Amino acid sequence: MAKIIVQNTQITVLNFEKQDYISLTDMASAKEGDNRAADVIKNWIRNRYTIEFLGTWEVIHNSNFKVVEFDHFRKSAGLPSFVLSASEWIECTNAIGIIVRKGRYGGTYAHKDIAFEFGSAISVPFKLYLIEEFQRLKAEEQRQLGWSAKRELSKINYHIHTDAIKQNLIPPEVTPTQASVIYANEADVLNVAMFGMTAKQWREMNPTQKGNIRDYATINELICLSNMENLNAVFIEQSIAQRERLVKLNQIAIHQMSVLESRDNNDRKLLK
């Protein structure tokens, strides 16, 4: 569940069955207030054009949609006596494009395709701002997904790094406590080369932050860090002294970050 702000109104976005559903209740509240939100949705659903739109969407996306019941509503739409609620539409036609939730985040939600169409009932500017904010939300989610993937890759490569330390730097006679100091010391070789500080120094500078220095790295820093873990494992196996490895890794970090940031700048220019 996520929230977006559209023209000073908070709109809830719900993930349901791996699809994005947007709160029509929140959207309707932007037009008529909380007390009349349900009426706005009812008036919209009973419209003949809306029935056509909803039915066509269901035919395309829902193999269990009850077309006969849809035809009944379509023929009745537009009559003064015709009234239809979201719950009745769902129950009678087995629709999936609209869902009704109860509880803390209760209300009427619609698949993004339908919610964008409902936005026209609020106002054209509202609809356009809704689409823009929703796209911004999706872009941010993709960025976070990319970050998580790079973070996991960095963790996987760290096992290669620690294995090289175990095989080449930890004598058999040391205690587990002594071994942990060696592991931490080598981890800080990467931290200093990449971030310019040790894990302890970062914690002292950020006492209120949860996690560690790598949890706050950018995607480019994680890509570079992942590469450095592999390279440092090779350098360790080659018996290169720690001080020399630190210098090498720092030079590599500077070069790779320059390349990655230059690529990002070029990509942004192409998008303009």
Per-residue model confidence as pLDDT tens digits over 28-80 = 998 877 678 888 999 999 999 999 999 999 999 999 999 999 999 998 887 88
- For residues 129-135, give the mean pLDDT: 90
143 has pLDDT over 80:
no
- For residues 176-192, give the mean pLDDT: 87
The per-residue pLDDT for 174 is 76
- For residues 242-268, give the mean pLDDT: 84
The per-residue pLDDT for 195 is 92
Per-residue model confidence as pLDDT tens digits over 74-128 = 988 878 888 889 999 999 999 999 999 987 778 999 999 999 999 988 898 999 9
| pLDDT, averaged across the chain | 86
Residue 55 and residue 73: Cα distance in Å, rounded?
10
Per-residue model confidence as pLDDT tens digits over 204-215 = 999 998 888 888
Residue boundaries of the structural domains of the chain: 2-122, 147-265
Residue 17 and residue 96: Cα distance in Å, rounded?
10
- For residues 154-177, give the mean pLDDT: 77
- For residues 242-265, give the mean pLDDT: 87
The per-residue pLDDT for 181 is 86
Length of the chain: 272
pTM score: 0.56
The per-residue pLDDT for 271 is 44
- For residues 187-213, give the mean pLDDT: 90
Residue 71 and residue 63: Cα distance in Å, rounded?
16
272 has pLDDT over 60:
no
The per-residue pLDDT for 60 is 93
**How large a percentage of the chain has pLDDT more than 90?**
40
The per-residue pLDDT for 97 is 95
Can you spell out the DSSP letters for the chain? -EEEEETTEEEEEEEETTEEEEEHHHHHHHHH-GGGHHHHHHHHHTSHHHHHHHHHHHHHH-TT--HHHHHHHHHHTTSTT----HHHHHHHHT--SEEEE-STT-EEEEEHHHHHHHHHHH-HHHHHHHHHHHHHHHHHHHHHHHHHHHHHHHHHHHHHHHHHHHHHT--TTS-HHHHHHHHHHHHHHHHHHHHSS-HHHHHHH-TT--S-GGGG--HHHHHHHHHHHHHHHHHHHTT--HHHHHHHHHHHHHHHHHHHHHHHHHHHHHH-
4 has pLDDT over 60:
yes
The per-residue pLDDT for 148 is 65
Label residue 270 by pLDDT band (50, 70, 90): very low
